[in-house]
Amino acid sequence: MSMTVTRQELYDRVWAEPIDKLCKDFGISSVGLGKACRRHRIPVPPRGYWQRKAAGYADSRPALPKFTEGSEIIALLGSPRSEPTVEEPASDVNPLIAFERQAENQVVVPDDLRSKHLAIKQTREYWAAQKRGEVTYGENKLPYLNIRVSSTALPRALRLLQALFVALEQRGHSVVATKDGKTNITVLDETFDVSLREPSKQVKHVPTAQELANAKKYSWMRPTPYDLVASGTLVLTIEGVWGVRHTWKDGKTQQLEAVLNDVIVGLLEAAFQKKARRAERERERLKDEELERQREIARQNWRQERARIRRLERLREANSEHQRLHDFVKQLRVTIGDVDADSEIGRWLTWADDHVRRLDPLRPFRAPQATIRLYYLGSKYPVSKIMTEGFTDRDPESGEDEELPAGVELTDAPMTRNGYDEATLVVEFPEIVVLPYEWITKTRNYRRFLVPAAVVNEHGRISSSEEET
């Protein structure tokens, strides 16, 4: 399949878009497109043009020369991208990383690049103030970058950082210098400290005449065998990062200027890793919380089950005790025989019968009340919160019976602890609802209930004792 364009159209497209993109749009190889341009005398951008343009230093384009050797219409043989014959496979590479791998997005560091970034200006001001003796240890208020290089390598280092910072900010990231000397680069909302260093190297020390004389005179004044000098090699590091590439340095065949896109990729991968680790920690936290919640549910279920057993046993014991008391009073009446009901002993026997009936633990089960009024004693602030949010279960406090279940303690008579901030709530239930939660007291002077908060909130009608007065 072929498509046709005019010389002017192809000239405009060649200078408007990188060759790689045009080749995909036209469905033609870069070699074929280059031959077509040369055959029709169409000038093309020189090598490095798109990198310089991205850095703000685009070259001027030459005019389209006249063409008299053939037609102004150019036929391009290929398959335009608008009519694909084979579906392109999806790439697993993150689009942000794929962007850095494209040749037209290469970060270029021109030799005449001036350092205009705010963080670099602030660092120069810090160095000047430091030279004037205005920087006091522990009281510095001037931000500066994390950079340690020799004066010889400094111009190159600043050009390199200028190009890197501009490229990062063009991509939506941010760079700031801090007062503690960190180069904080924020990529995808993740902040990293990036350092630029020039390591030292050892060179053989050449003793001076004075050093030789001193060594000859004094055995302990031997000259040092090596001197430390600036190596001229720059090393850029993403501090505090592991698991992904985080260090780049000058090599034998390649310098840092050629791998700034790799540095950006490293920052992106470090950000992805940081987010993944945070997500993993969050998953582990949620998992631990869920396990703890399940353990707490199991613990509360066990306590409630144990409480059910204990309540049942206490009811059985109370019923057995009541039955013995009933039998005793019955035997007492047989022993005494018939007596006048208005006599002293007759009135005492009547009281004994009433006492037996009152202590009968099964009486509420035979004829439960339509409504039973119970009381909750607490402090004023928690009580006011309960009125709006409802009850919550509480575990026994220090000194209380540890085998009691978690729940809300209610009594059929108002209680007091003689505290100045006490408050009482009134909770009304159908008695049949709370009977399974009665905790029979030994004295039987009052009735005590330990009711789960969910049951109280669902079935109880809560009001303040002050409202009733």
Which of the listed ranges 21-30, 71-80, 393-402 does the model predict with the highest average pLDDT? 21-30
Is the model's pTM score more than 0.75? no
Residues 138-157, mean pLDDT to the nearest whole number: 91
pLDDT over threshold 50, residue 99: yes
Residues 162-177, mean pLDDT to the nearest whole number: 95
* pLDDT grade for 272, boundaries at 50, 70 and 90: very high
The secondary element (H helix, E strand) that includes residue 169 is helix 154-170
Q: Which residue has the higher pLDDT, 349 or 421?
A: 349
Percent of the chain with pLDDT over 70: 88
pLDDT over threshold 60, residue 80: no
d(CA 159, CA 196) in angstroms, rounded, equals: 12
User: What was the pLDDT predicted at 86?
Assistant: 42
d(CA 419, CA 84) in angstroms, rounded, equals: 85
- The tens digit of pLDDT for each residue in 196-225 reads 999 998 889 888 989 888 888 888 888 888
* pLDDT grade for 83, boundaries at 50, 70 and 90: very low
Three-state SS annotation for 366-432: HCCCCCEEEEEEEEHHHHHHHHHHCCCCECCCCCCCCCCCCEEEEECCCCCCCCCCEEEEEEEECHH
Residues 250-257, mean pLDDT to the nearest whole number: 89
In DSSP terms, 190 is beta-bridged to 187
What is the torsional sign of CA 441, 443, 447, 448?
negative
Residue 227 · residue 200 · CB < 8 Å:
no
d(CA 94, CA 91) in angstroms, rounded, equals: 8
User: Distance between alpha carbon 428 and the CA centroid of its chain, in Å?
Assistant: 46
pLDDT over threshold 70, residue 466: no
User: What was the pLDDT predicted at 120?
Assistant: 96
Residues in the chain: 469
Q: Would you give the DSSP letter of residue 341?
A: T
* pLDDT grade for 252, boundaries at 50, 70 and 90: confident
User: What was the pLDDT predicted at 468?
Assistant: 54
d(CA 163, CA 111) in angstroms, rounded, equals: 11
Residue 337: CB atoms within 10 Å: 6
- List, in order, residues 6 or more apart from 336 with CB less than 8 Å away: 345, 349
Which of the listed ranges 84-88, 93-97, 117-121, 356-360 does the model predict with the highest average pLDDT? 117-121
Q: Which residue has the higher pLDDT, 393 or 368?
A: 368
d(CA 295, CA 304) in angstroms, rounded, equals: 14
d(CA 55, CA 32) in angstroms, rounded, equals: 29
Could you give the 3-state DSSP secondary structure of residue 42? coil
User: What was the pLDDT predicted at 457?
Assistant: 93
d(CA 267, CA 263) in angstroms, rounded, equals: 6
d(CA 280, CA 259) in angstroms, rounded, equals: 31
Q: Which residue has the higher pLDDT, 65 or 281?
A: 281
Q: Which residue has the higher pLDDT, 35 or 452?
A: 452
- The tens digit of pLDDT for each residue in 257-269 reads 999 999 999 999 9
pLDDT over threshold 90, residue 324: yes
Residues 125-147: b if buried by 16+ CB within 10 A, e if exposed: ebeeeeeeeebeeeebebbbbbb
The secondary element (H helix, E strand) that includes residue 112 is none
* pLDDT grade for 236, boundaries at 50, 70 and 90: very high
pLDDT over threshold 80, residue 48: no
* pLDDT grade for 396, boundaries at 50, 70 and 90: low
Query: What does pLDDT average to over the chain?
Result: 86
d(CA 262, CA 161) in angstroms, rounded, equals: 14
Q: Which residue has the higher pLDDT, 431 or 421?
A: 431
**Torsions phi, psi of 53, nearest 5?**
-65, -40
Residues 178-200, mean pLDDT to the nearest whole number: 95
Q: Which residue has the higher pLDDT, 202 or 330?
A: 330
User: What was the pLDDT predicted at 197?
Assistant: 96
Residue 440 · residue 361 · CB < 8 Å:
yes
Residues 84-103, mean pLDDT to the nearest whole number: 70
d(CA 424, CA 466) in angstroms, rounded, equals: 8
* pLDDT grade for 469, boundaries at 50, 70 and 90: very low
d(CA 9, CA 32) in angstroms, rounded, equals: 17
d(CA 22, CA 80) in angstroms, rounded, equals: 10
* pLDDT grade for 9, boundaries at 50, 70 and 90: confident
d(CA 417, CA 415) in angstroms, rounded, equals: 7
pLDDT over threshold 80, residue 301: yes
* pLDDT grade for 459, boundaries at 50, 70 and 90: very high
In this structure, which long-range contacts are made by residues 324-327, counting pairs with CB atoms below 8 Å and at least 24 apart in sequence?
Answer: 325/356, 325/359, 326/356
Q: Which residue has the higher pLDDT, 347 or 71?
A: 347
Percent of the chain with pLDDT over 90: 50
Residues 333-342, mean pLDDT to the nearest whole number: 91
d(CA 45, CA 43) in angstroms, rounded, equals: 7
User: What was the pLDDT predicted at 65?
Assistant: 82
The domain segmentation of the chain, as residue ranges, is 2-90, 118-275, 367-469
